[in-house]
Amino acid sequence: MRLELVAIGDELLKGGVVNTNLFFLSRALSFLGYEVKGQTVIGDERIEEGLKTVWTRSDVVIVTGGLGPTLDDKTKKAVGLLLQKKLVVDQKVKKRLLKRGLQGAVLESLSKKPQGALVLPNFCGSAPGLVMLKPKGALILLPGVPEEMEALFDQAVAPFLKKHFPLKKRFFQEEIQLCQISEAEVDPQLRKFKLKRPDLRIGIYPHLATLRVVFSLESSHEKKARALLSGFKKKLEKAFFPYVFQAQSGDLAEALKDIFVQKKLTLALAESCSGGALGAALTSVPGASKYFLGSLVTYANELKTSLLNVRPKTIQKYGAVSLETAEEMLQGIFLTTTADFGIALSGIAGPGGGTRLKPAGTLCLAYGLRGKKAQLKKLFFPFERKLFVKYAVSFALSLLWVKIKAL
């Protein structure tokens, strides 16, 4: 079964929005064991033409976008033309939308579907999903609003696929997550695996301070495939033990929450250049309140002094971005909060504010346990401002991980 994804919308071709729908669908289908053979983005004015190419070569096509009531929503019309089906009003849909207070042209437009289409009710929004069947295939239309699309996929599309397109040979997948390890460091090991099993697919996905390695194998023997993959995984885990983390979401912050809670430690931060982004990253995980107390975002130097007790002399002598200031910020955390562990960040996010000796991209970190000697680290991420902050946050998370894991 050949499955492809299509996203509709001029805004995607113009870079008005990031395409998170194809990301969601690819990830969700991959978890179900389906292989996505291609993704295509088509503009509003070219839906019929673009869809024809994909539909002709595929069995199942999932399309998102262009189902709404506004004037830039043109998917249903194009699909009608492509499949030579008239657009007709679905009375059930109309009734449901009427109840929700819709009327006029919007009601009319949202109630229409290509003749013969099955309706997937949308409980999070107004435009329902639609399915057109062909022998051994289906064209599935979903709305473009991410929350609606995601809910419809989980509630209706996933069960539909499982029922009508059950998998025979399946893709099995294992992954391992590392931090502070580079692509080049794992590559030799991976090449050995590949020699053993030439059909093994390996993906290496570096992301800031973390690295995800994915092994996959197509097989009809689940047990064998899983054993093989988990063997490869264990070898890597052993070789890189201190840097391996586990998190369902792939997010180091999740692993940190687990380990802090497990070790019964609390954490507080002092941030400057990151503006609160490290606190935001840590609290993006449910349950963060079990160990995370807070963050003192002392962007202005006056706050470093008044809130964290950093001596004005230290800032004067070494600069706000220095290991000396970072260390005093860390001590300030222990003064101001009851945290067991602290980390302080000060850096130059740029583009302005750098000097020859301390260029934009410089990051100074101090971290450690209350009452113990602080560990200090100076790093350099010469990137654009937002990317600098992302690296700073990711690196801080990875430092925390390696340190707490070893405690």
List binders of a copy of itself among 91-110 (CB under 8 A). 106
Distance CA 359, CA 362 (A): 6
Residues 209 and 179: their CA atoms lie apart, in Å, by: 6
Kindly give, in sequence order, each residue whose CB lies less than 8 Å from that of residue 284, ignoring residues fewer than 6 positions away: 251, 253
Contact between 38 and a copy of itself per CB under 8 A: yes
Among 201, 224, 311, 317, binds a copy of itself (CB under 8 A): 201
CB of 307 to a copy of itself, least distance (A): 7
- The residue type of 158 is A
What whole-number distance in Å separates Cα of residue 194 and Cα of residue 267? 42
For residue 394, the one-letter residue type is: S
Report H helices in 36-145: 47-57, 75-83, 91-99, 104-111
- Alpha-carbon separation of residue 13 from 42, 62, 68, 157 (angstroms): 8, 18, 18, 26
Q: Site mask, a copy of itself, residues 133-172, x = CB under 8 A? A: --------------x-------------------------
Half-sphere exposure of 59 (CA within 13 A, CB side): 13
Is residue 307 a contact residue for a copy of itself (CB under 8 A)?
Answer: yes
Closer Cβ to a copy of itself, 88 or 387, answer by number:
387
| Residue with smaller CB distance to a copy of itself, 117 or 331 | 331
Using the rule CB under 8 A, give the single segment among 86-94, 233-241, 274-282, 398-406 that binds a copy of itself. 274-282
Interhelix angle 301-308/323-336, rounded to 10 degrees, is 40
Sheet of strand 210-219: strand arrangement: 201-207, 210-219, 170-179, 244-245
Among 137, 242, 276, 354, which residue sits at the site for a copy of itself (rule: CB under 8 A)?
276
Q: For residues 160 and 388, which CB has a smaller minimum distance to a copy of itself in the complex?
A: 388
Find the binding residues for a copy of itself in span 219-258 (CB under 8 A).
none
Nearer to a copy of itself, 135 or 286 (CB): 286
Q: Which stretch, 130-138, 189-197, 255-263, 311-319, contacts a copy of itself (CB under 8 A)?
A: 189-197
The yes or no reply on residue 10 touching a copy of itself (CB under 8 A) is yes
Q: Which of 1, 32, 33, 35 binds a copy of itself (CB under 8 A)?
A: 35
Of the candidate residues 98, 133, 169, 183, the single one contacting a copy of itself (CB under 8 A): 183
Within a 10 A sphere around the Cβ of 360, how many other Cβ atoms?
21
Among 64, 75, 111, 274, the residue binding a copy of itself under the rule CB under 8 A is 274
CA 269 to each of CA 176, 177, 337, 346: distance values in angstroms, whole numbers, following the listed order: 28, 25, 10, 11
- Kindly tell me which residue out of 95, 192, 205, 359 binds a copy of itself, with binding defined by CB under 8 A: 205
Site for a copy of itself in 277-296 (CB under 8 A): 277-280, 282-284, 286-289, 292-296
Instruction: Tell me the window of 40-48, 79-87, 156-164, 395-403 that interacts with a copy of itself (CB under 8 A).
Output: 40-48
- Tell me how far apart the alpha carbons of residues 325 and 314 are, in angstroms, rounded to a whole number: 6
- 43 contributes a contact to a copy of itself by CB under 8 A: yes
| Residues numbered 334-393 forming contacts with a copy of itself, rule: CB under 8 A | 336-338, 349-353, 383-387, 389
Q: Which stretch binds a copy of itself (CB under 8 A): 231-239, 272-280, 326-334, 395-403?
A: 272-280
Question: Under a CB-based contact definition with an 8 Å cutoff, are residues 189 and 239 in contact?
Answer: yes
- Selected from 220, 306, 316, 355, the binder of a copy of itself by CB under 8 A is 306
Alpha helices in 37-182 (DSSP H): 47-57, 75-83, 91-99, 104-111, 146-152, 158-164
